[in-house]
């Protein structure tokens, strides 16, 4: 086989990349209106280059009424005016590339905004029209059509709201998320054509990849049967028809060397791997790792299952600790229940942030040492905790649609702190769209840049050193209970101690990096990770 050529290596960048998720609204505000924007990102490109990331994944930046933070797209070919213009996006893509950073856009194919021209036309055209055939419109049940067409549950966990909304003309339309996000009918050829055109539009603008939102939900059983009466195959999750869609997307992307990452939340690793066959998606987010508690045997099983399921299809795994939908890592790891589950989120959960931060530092070294690509969600590199947003300021529909039972996801979407001592921690000159907690400046980028022991310094060093692990496979090393130890490539080892007893490190020639100090005997304390040259 020999070494891959440089061109081949460059084309395979996504197999080992560190990809940074930018939630534009909360990254940096360039025009001082309290909302992050593309000007803010462009101004901070040196920061991202300094962090050493290979690519940026932008959560949706398209024109949107922001009913669901931009995952309700009114125009897939325009930038939302609050964020900037298409010309600015093109500049940003080019400037990032000049700094060695690729761009990944976020495509939302399952649904559009209710302001999308297709949906406006469908509303105007009335029942039975070809315009309505692009969506799922149905008459209701009951004597007067007053009951929703089926029993499908909302895809916002905790929400008891129906996934159907009735129009004054009597028709109901399907929306697995909010009523502002009508589901498209993927059995309609125009829907497929339009999305392939949207992909081409962004690839032509130089993007290197596409994240696919709700990637396992697009196809629906055409009968729209009740879930209770016909649960298998599931009427809207992980249906076989989907693979044909992704095979044709793959052919299209190959012409641009473009890559996909699918948001595929499936508990069954074998089903997930089907999306990663060589002629389908390149990668998918690893939610089993993200949901896994801070527990050595459970983490080892999650890692082994991931590797075993990816190997036969030849796809690299991804390692994700958090994103814009889930509880921030330092908070999750500082709680009694360190797993992530949408169903158990609650206000006021006791949290030990010192413990959580210590574990999050170790988890950062663990995930950056594993084979595959790694996602870092903005603010994770600063060790930001989940914020408790005053209820009057909560915007997330997950909170509102659960009648306030679910705190929602705004707590992980708070604007970043950039400068210690500045109003709004240097994010903006105005009160940001979500309030920052009072102690936010203690996490500010400039402060962490000056501190060699900060979370930011750890991420920078780890990303810079990560190539020592190469792209070789992983071999577990013998280790005491509660300790994870594995070797990668020639001579690089990662050890993580989750047990209360300090762990003796394997013989090594150099300690490359550790997430915290070793004890006086040179052992690795609890909740600490180390990278070794052996």
Question: Rounded to the nearest whole angstrom, what is the least distance from the CB of residue 126 to ligand NOJ in the complex?
Answer: 27
Q: Residue 502: CB partners within 8 Å, gap ≥ 6? A: 519, 521, 523, 524, 525, 526
Could you tell me the CA-to-CA distances from 211 to 30, 60, 214, 396 in Å, in that order?
25, 10, 10, 21
Which of the 8 DSSP states describes residue 154? P
- Biggest CA–CA distance in the chain, Å, is 78
Distances (CA, A) of 443 to 23, 382, 406, 415, 525: 18, 6, 26, 12, 25
Give the residue with the Cβ less far from ligand NOJ, 30 or 70: 70
Taking CB atoms, the residue at the shortest distance from ligand NOJ is 71
Per CB under 6 A, 71 contacts ligand NOJ: yes
Three-state DSSP class for residue 368: helix
- Residue numbers annotated as active site: 213, 263
For the chain, how are helix, strand and coil distributed in percent, rounded to 5? 35, 15, 50
State the minimum distance, in angstroms, from the CB of residue 323 to ligand NOJ.
7
Which helix (H) or strand (E) segment is 137 a member of? strand 137-138
| Residues 91-120 interacting with ligand NOJ (rule: CB under 6 A) | 108
Q: How far is the CB of 474 from ligand NOJ (least distance, A)?
A: 29
**d(C-alpha 20, C-alpha 375), whole Å:** 6
Contacts of residue 383, Cβ cutoff 8 Å, sequence gap at least 6 = 330, 357, 360, 361, 443, 454, 455, 456
With CB under 6 A as the contact rule, the residue among 58, 137, 177, 433 that binds ligand NOJ is 177
378 makes contact with ligand NOJ (CB under 6 A)? no
Residue 501: is the preceding peptide bond cis (ω within 30°)? no
Whether the Cβ atoms of residue 158 and residue 406 lie closer than 8 Å to each other:
yes
* DSSP-assigned beta bridge partners for residue 260: 210
Residue 153 vs 522, nearer CB to ligand NOJ: 153
Smallest separation, CB 416 to ligand NOJ (Å):
18
Nearer to ligand NOJ, 109 or 258 (CB): 109
Please report how close the Cβ of residue 350 comes to ligand NOJ at its closest, in angstroms: 27
Alpha carbons 493 and 476: distance in angstroms, whole number: 10
Nearer of residues 195 and 447 to ligand NOJ, judged by Cβ: 195
Beta bridge partners of 438: none
By beta-carbon proximity to ligand NOJ, the closer residue of 214 and 357 is: 214
Per the document, the length of the chain is 534
Helices (H), ranges, 370-436: 397-401
Which CB sits closer to ligand NOJ, 71 or 319?
71
Smallest distance, Å, CB 148 to ligand NOJ?
Answer: 20
Select 19 or 108, whichever has its Cβ closest to ligand NOJ.
108
Tell me the number of residues near ligand NOJ by CB under 6 A. 9
529 lies in the site for ligand NOJ, by CB under 6 A:
no
The footprint of ligand NOJ on residues 188-227 (CB under 6 A) is 213-214
Q: Which is nearer to ligand NOJ, 280 or 410 (CB)?
A: 410
Rounded least distance, CB 1 to ligand NOJ, Å: 38
What is the nearest approach in angstroms of ligand NOJ to the Cβ of residue 214?
5
Residue 202 CB, nearest distance to ligand NOJ (Å)? 18
DSSP structure string for 232-284 = SS-SSSS-TTHHHHHHHHHHHHHTTT-EEEE----S-HHHHHHTTSTTS-SEE
Q: Is 22 in the site for ligand NOJ (CB under 6 A)?
A: no
Take residue 36 and report the two structure tokens written for it: 């992050």
Closer of 173 and 486 to ligand NOJ (Cβ): 173
Closer Cβ to ligand NOJ, 54 or 68, answer by number: 68
Cβ at position 408, least distance to ligand NOJ in Å? 10
Contacts of 534 (CB under 8 A, 6+ apart): 487, 491, 492, 493, 506, 507, 508, 509
Tokens of 513: 């990096």
User: Helix, strand or coil for residue 62?
Assistant: strand
Chosen residue from 68, 88, 238, 527 binding ligand NOJ by CB under 6 A: 68
**325 in contact with ligand NOJ (CB under 6 A):** yes
3-state class (DSSP) for residue 353? helix
Indicate whether 237 belongs to the interface with ligand NOJ (CB under 6 A).
no
Tell whether residue 485 is a contact of ligand NOJ (CB under 6 A): no
CA–CA separation, 142 vs 147, rounded Å? 6
- Residue ranges in 315-352 assigned as alpha helix (H): 329-332
Burial (Cβ within 10 Å: 0-12, 13-18, ≥19) of residue 504: middle
- The residue ranges that bind ligand NOJ (CB under 6 A) are 68, 71, 108, 177, 213-214, 263, 324-325
């Amino acid at each position: 086989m020999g070494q891959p050529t440089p061109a081949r290596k460059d084309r395979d960048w996504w197999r080992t990349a560190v990809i940074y998720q930018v939630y534009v609204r909360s990254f940096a505000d360039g025009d001082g209106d309290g909302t992050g924007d593309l000007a803010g990102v462009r101004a901070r490109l040196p920061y991202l280059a300094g962090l050493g990331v290979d690519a940026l994944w932008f959560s949706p930046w398209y024109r949107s009424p922001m009913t669901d933070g931009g995952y309700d797209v009114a125009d897939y070919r325009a930038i939302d005016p609050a964020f900037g213009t298409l010309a600015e996006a093109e500049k940003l893509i080019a400037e990032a590339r000049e700094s060695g950073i690729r761009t990944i856009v976020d495509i939302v194919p399952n649904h559009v905004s209710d302001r999308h021209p297709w949906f406006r036309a469908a509303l105007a055209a009335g029942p039975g029209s070809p315009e309505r055939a692009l969506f799922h419109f149905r008459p209701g049940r009951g004597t007067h059509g007053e009951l929703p067409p089926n029993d499908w549950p909302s895809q916002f966990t905790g929400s008891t709201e129906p996934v159907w909304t009735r129009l004054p003309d009597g028709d109901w339309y399907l929306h697995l998320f909010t009523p502002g996000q009508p589901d498209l009918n993927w059995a309609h050829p125009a829907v497929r054509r339009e999305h392939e055109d949207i992909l081409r539009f962004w690839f032509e603008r130089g993007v290197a990849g596409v994240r696919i939102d709700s990637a396992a939900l697009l196809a629906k059983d055409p009968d729209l049967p009740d879930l209770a009466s016909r649960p298998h195959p599931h009427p809207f999750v992980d249906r076989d028809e989907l693979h044909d869609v992704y095979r044709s997307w793959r052919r299209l992307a190959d012409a641009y060397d473009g890559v996909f990452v699918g948001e595929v939340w499936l508990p069954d690793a074998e089903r997930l791997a089907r999306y990663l066959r060589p002629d389908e998606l390149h990668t998918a987010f690893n939610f089993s790792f993200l949901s896994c508690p801070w527990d050595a045997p459970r983490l080892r099983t999650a890692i082994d299952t991931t590797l075993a399921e990816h190997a036969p299809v030849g796809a690299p795994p991804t390692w994700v600790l958090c994103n814009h939908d889930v509880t921030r890592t330092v908070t999750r790891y500082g709680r009694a229940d360190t797993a992530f589950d949408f169903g158990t989120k609650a206000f006021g959960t006791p949290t030990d942030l010192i413990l959580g931060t210590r574990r999050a530092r170790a988890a950062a070294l663990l995930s950056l040492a594993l084979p595959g690509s790694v996602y870092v969600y903005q603010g994770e590199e600063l060790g930001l905790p989940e914020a408790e947003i005053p209820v009057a300021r909560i915007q997330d529909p997950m909170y509102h649609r659960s009648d306030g039972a679910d705190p929602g996801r705004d707590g992980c979407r708070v604007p970043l702190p950039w400068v210690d001592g500045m109003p709004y921690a240097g994010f903006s000159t105005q009160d940001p769209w979500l309030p920052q907690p009072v102690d936010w400046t203690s996490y500010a980028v400039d402060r962490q840049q000056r501190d060699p022991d900060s979370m930011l310094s750890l991420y920078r060093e780890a990303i810079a050193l990560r190539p020592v692990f190469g792209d070789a496979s992983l071999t577990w090393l013998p280790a005491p209970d509660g300790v994870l130890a594995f070797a990668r490539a020639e001579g690089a080892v990662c050890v993580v101690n989750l047990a209360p007893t300090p762990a003796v490190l394997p013989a090594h020639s150099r300690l490359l990096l550790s997430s915290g100090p070793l004890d006086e005997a040179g052992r690795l304390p609890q909740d600490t990770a180390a990278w070794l040259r052996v």
